[in-house]
């Protein structure tokens, strides 16, 4: 998506607030179900409601909670009209949020009800609170045999407010018996609370660090924009240039004006360092919003936000749908990150929808990155977004030098993955008591298991994908569907015994090489499956910061945001990894990822070094990384996309049909192809089997609609899907502005 110009502007809160419906009137209720339009109901005697009110209505034989969306559709006969049951004691959904729901639905081509469901993600928060029992740590710890599980429970409590027994067990990763045991022993004290505690208030009046002249200029511009309506500002600065410090100034200004702020981060579970910095700057933590929050914390957060008691929320993309009554600023940090794209359910891009949300609310949006997406750079070039640059690292830190290691000239030893130059650099860094990051974006031990005798490859029975060996778990796993099985001792195809061999490296295999090379060094492996939950990630970061680790082997979970002063060497084991496959953004993404990884080196006073192992040193991505010439790379990439009419210069909509049977999938795909839209400059590619032709046992076929930028694709696609009439057991997945081409 480029920008939401298609929409008319901001919502006028006054006109929206005035609308009320009175007893006896018909109202249109939107339900959080995959339905397109409103359902009509009647307000019974004695019930007046505002637009946006949450209400209970009868639906078939049960009841559902919905939102008063506006005028009734008039499609239901008077005799069949049913009464609204109750109006709920929760703040009505704001006019901005209702417009936002409609906008997202229209843009993504998902039913408004499905989008509404995201805006009602905590249904129980709409009901009056019930008293609940929470547990706090006792003032004095009784004499109790310390166990790891008990310690984890106490650590969770030390870190936050009292919690229910269930939440406590879940967050600490212990059984409920452990919590019950601590309670019985008097280590945990029960307390009854009626309402969620109000979050601590961040203090905007605390002063931040002395800003450098560049930082101060950028901060002043952001601050000046607060309260002045919709505008998008890109904060483009090299890693470590102080982008976070700069936007914190804008956050402080919004708080001073008494409004709310949303900061969106791509990997919220791993943002321990961000949270610490926020707390240091503002003296209190923000409210967190992400998928790992437990039930009662979700409810508390939702209510605090809707009642305006949560001034700052930091969250993943789903935080966009939280009920802010008075949002004053949205910051999207690492705006280029593909994690902002939601691929399941309603398929949307959180960064783009943040801009829409800001526009509808008439507030500024700030997009931060060291490697802005091509979409964002193009918007800057076209003058739609303003750009502020932070060209230098803060203080004495300088950008690391990036050196390419041509693996054709410096091959690793047989069965090993580190080339001699990388091994030497690693040894020198460890000798200097500095830290090393080895980056390999591959979880597990080996990406492929192969039979030496017959060549059989171990494949997922439900997906078009090789099984990845996870040796620590003793399993072969599918990274697409979660299928897992112990590795067989005999080849399933030729029955040869002990003939299966691991091919290629994953982080676990690299760990073996490191342990053999440098016995006794302290290292850890950081991948999404080895760092379970925010606590484990925070712990790893702390061990890095305190120099309890000499080396860390990590996947992309370690690529961004973190700041380790002693880390001076980054080794990229396979820089070419992301370049294979036909993804539109393969080069752009590889550049962004490796640039971010490189940015982990030398962030304080010690200069950093980055070594990248590649078989393609002449590739434009590698050349750009080595020369540090980002702008030239972006210009070349941009020219290539423009020549092909690809995003952001053209529009794409992907349609994936899937069915349990191959025939059904093919038939549906062909039916879609037959009625494909004809319009100027619009073409439809496919159908073709998806690269993941089989996923979770369903056969998948892809079609791709390509259109010039000035074509409104949504009406075309809507009519297309209606004309094809594909349904029944065939699932149709619509993806406007696709990021995944699998």
Estimate to the nearest angstrom the gap between the alpha carbon of 731 and the chain centroid: 24
Edge to edge, the sheet with strand 468-470 lists 468-470, 475-477, 484-485
Q: Of 120 and 557, which CB lies nearer to ligand ADP in the complex structure? A: 557
**DSSP conformation letters of 241-309:** S-HHHHHHHHHHHHHHTT-EEEEE-S-GGG-HHHHHHHHHHHSSPPEEESTT--HHHHHHHHHHHHTT-
What are the strands, taking DSSP E only, across 428-493?
435-439, 448-451, 468-470, 475-477, 484-485
Kindly report the three-state secondary structure assignment for every residue of 667-726: HHHHHHHHCCCCCCCCEEEEEEEEEEEEECCEEEEEEEEEEECCCCHHHHHHHHHHHHCC
Q: Which does 483 bind (CB under 5 to 8 A by kind): ligand ADP, Zn ion, none?
A: Zn ion
Quick one: which segment of 203-211, 462-470, 634-642, 666-674 binds ligand ADP (CB under 6 A)? 203-211
Q: Of 179 and 690, which CB lies nearer to Zn ion in the complex structure? A: 690
Q: Of 18 and 207, which CB lies nearer to ligand ADP in the complex structure? A: 207
Interface with ligand ADP in residues 390-429 (CB under 6 A): 394
Report the candidate in 246, 278, 248, 231 with the shortest Cα–Cα distance to residue 392.
Answer: 246
Q: Are 239 and 370 in contact (CB under 8 A)?
A: yes
Helices (H), ranges, 518-580: 533-545
Interface with Zn ion in residues 473-532 (CB under 5 A): 478, 480-481, 483
End-to-end CA distance of the chain: 20
Least spacing, CB of residue 366 vs ligand ADP, in Å = 12
Binding-site string for Zn ion from residue 456 to residue 475, where x marks contact by CB under 5 A and - marks none: ----x-xx------------
Q: Which of helix, strand or coil describes residue 466?
A: strand
Least spacing, CB of residue 51 vs ligand ADP, in Å = 41
Q: Which does 241 bind (CB under 5 to 8 A by kind): Zn ion, ligand ADP, none?
A: ligand ADP
Cβ count within 10 A of residue 251? 28
Interface with ligand ADP in residues 560-589 (CB under 6 A): 563
Least spacing, CB of residue 698 vs Zn ion, in Å = 11
Report CA-CA distances (Å) from 267 to 22, 264, 634, 657. 45, 9, 25, 29
239 is an interface residue for ligand ADP by CB under 6 A: yes
State which of residues 32, 162, 199, 242 lies at the interface with ligand ADP (CB under 6 A).
242
Q: Which does 585 bind (CB under 5 to 8 A by kind): Zn ion, ligand ADP, none?
A: none
Q: Of 102 and 214, which CB lies nearer to ligand ADP in the complex structure? A: 214
State which of residues 150, 163, 170, 243 lies at the interface with ligand ADP (CB under 6 A).
243
Report the candidate in 341, 386, 337, 379 with the shortest Cα–Cα distance to residue 365.
Answer: 386
Least spacing, CB of residue 9 vs ligand ADP, in Å = 31
Q: Which does 350 bind (CB under 5 to 8 A by kind): ligand ADP, Zn ion, none?
A: none
Least spacing, CB of residue 465 vs Zn ion, in Å = 6
Q: How many residues bind ligand ADP (CB under 6 A)?
A: 15
Q: Which does 169 bind (CB under 5 to 8 A by kind): Zn ion, ligand ADP, none?
A: none
Q: Which does 210 bind (CB under 5 to 8 A by kind): Zn ion, ligand ADP, none?
A: ligand ADP
Least spacing, CB of residue 742 vs Zn ion, in Å = 12
Q: Which does 215 bind (CB under 5 to 8 A by kind): ligand ADP, Zn ion, none?
A: ligand ADP
Q: Of 11 and 559, which CB lies nearer to ligand ADP in the complex structure? A: 559
276 is an interface residue for ligand ADP by CB under 6 A: no
281 is an interface residue for ligand ADP by CB under 6 A: no
Residues 6+ apart with CB under 8 A from 401: 607, 608, 609, 610
Residues 6+ apart with CB under 8 A from 698: 658, 659, 660, 665, 731
Report the candidate in 440, 399, 442, 427 with the shortest Cα–Cα distance to residue 606.
Answer: 399
Q: Which residues bind ligand ADP (CB under 6 A)?
A: 209-212, 215, 237, 239-245, 394, 563
Interaction site with Zn ion (CB under 5 A): 460, 462-463, 478, 480-481, 483
């Amino acid at each position: 998506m480029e920008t939401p110009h298609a929409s008319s502007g901001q919502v006028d809160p006054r006109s929206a607030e005035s609308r009320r419906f009175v007893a006896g009137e018909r109202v249109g209720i939107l339900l959080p179900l995959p339905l397109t339009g409103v359902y009509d109901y009647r307000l019974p005697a004695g019930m007046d409601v505002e637009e946006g009110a949450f209400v209970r209505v009868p639906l078939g034989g049960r009841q559902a909670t919905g939102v008063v969306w506006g005028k009734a559709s008039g499609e239901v006969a008077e005799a069949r009209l049913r009464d609204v049951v109750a109006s709920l004691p929760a703040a009505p959904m704001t006019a901005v949020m209702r417009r936002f729901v409609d906008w997202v639905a229209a843009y993504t081509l998902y039913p408004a009800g499905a989008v509404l469901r995201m805006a009602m993600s905590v249904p129980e928060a709409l009901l009056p609170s019930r008293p609940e029992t929470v547990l706090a740590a006792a003032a004095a710890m009784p004499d109790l045999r310390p166990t790891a599980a008990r310690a984890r429970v106490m650590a969770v409590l030390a870190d936050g407010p009292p919690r229910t027994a269930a939440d406590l067990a879940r967050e600490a990763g212990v059984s409920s018996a452990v919590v019950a045991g601590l309670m019985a022993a008097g280590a945990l004290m029960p307390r009854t609370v009626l309402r969620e505690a109000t979050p601590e208030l961040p203090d905007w009046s605390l002063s931040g660090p002395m800003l450098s002249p560049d930082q101060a200029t950028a901060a002043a511009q952001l601050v000046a924009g607060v309260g002045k309506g919709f505008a998008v500002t890109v904060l483009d600065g090299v890693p470590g240039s102080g982008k976070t410090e700069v936007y914190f100034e804008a956050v402080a200004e919004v708080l001073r004006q008494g409004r709310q702020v949303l900061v969106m981060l791509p990997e919220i579970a791993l943002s321990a360092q961000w949270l610490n910095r926020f707390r240091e700057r503002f003296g209190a933590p923000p409210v967190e919003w992400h998928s790992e929050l437990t039930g009662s914390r979700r409810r508390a957060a939702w209510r605090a936000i809707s009642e305006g008691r949560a001034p700052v929320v930091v969250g993943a993309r789903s935080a966009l749908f939280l009920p802010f009554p008075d949002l004053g600023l949205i910051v999207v940090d690492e705006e280029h990150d593909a994690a902002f794209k939601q691929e399941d359910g309603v398929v949307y891009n959180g960064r783009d929808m943040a801009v829409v949300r800001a526009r509808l609310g008439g507030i500024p949006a700030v997009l931060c990155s060291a490697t802005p997406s091509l979409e964002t750079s193009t918007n800057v070039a076209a003058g739609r977004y303003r750009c502020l640059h932070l060209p230098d690292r803060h203080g004495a830190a300088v950008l690391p030098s990036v050196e390419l290691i041509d693996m054709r000239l410096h091959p690793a030893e047989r069965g090993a993955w580190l080339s001699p130059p990388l091994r030497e650099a690693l040894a020198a860094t460890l000798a200097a008591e500095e830290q090393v990051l080895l980056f390999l974006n591959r979880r597990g031990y080996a990406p492929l298991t192969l039979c030496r005798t017959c060549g059989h490859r171990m494949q997922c029975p439900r997906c078009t994908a090789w099984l990845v060996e996870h040796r620590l778990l003793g399993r072969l796993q599918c990274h697409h569907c979660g299928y897992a099985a112990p590795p067989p001792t005999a080849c399933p195809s030729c029955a040869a015994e002990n003939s299966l061999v691991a091919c290629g490296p994953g982080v676990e295999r690299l760990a073996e090489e490191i342990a053999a090379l440098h016995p006794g060094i302290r290292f850890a492996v950081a991948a999404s499956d080895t760092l379970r939950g925010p606590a484990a990630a925070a712990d790893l970061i702390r061990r890095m910061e305190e120099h309890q680790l000499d080396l860390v082997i990590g996947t992309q979970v370690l690529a961004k945001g973190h700041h380790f002063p002693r880390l001076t060497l980054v080794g990229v084991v396979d820089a070419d990894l992301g370049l294979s496959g036909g993804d539109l953004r393969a080069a752009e993404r590889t550049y962004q990822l490796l640039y971010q990884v490189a940015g982990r080196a030398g962030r304080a006073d010690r200069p950093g070094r980055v070594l990248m192992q590649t078989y393609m040193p002449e590739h434009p991505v590698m050349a750009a990384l080595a020369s540090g010439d980002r702008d030239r790379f972006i210009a070349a990439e941009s020219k290539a996309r423009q020549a092909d009419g690809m995003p952001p210069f053209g529009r794409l909509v992907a349609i994936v049909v899937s069915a349990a049977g191959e025939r059904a999938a093919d038939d549906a795909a062909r039916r879609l192809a037959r009625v494909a839209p004809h319009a100027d400059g619009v073409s439809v590619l496919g159908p073709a089997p998806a690269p993941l032709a089989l996923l979770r046992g369903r056969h998948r076929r892809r079609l791709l609609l390509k259109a010039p930028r000035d074509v409104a694709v949504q009406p075309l696609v809507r009519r297309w899907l209606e004309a094809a009439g594909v349904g029944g057991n065939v699932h149709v997945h619509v993806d406007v502005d696709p990021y995944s081409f699998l």
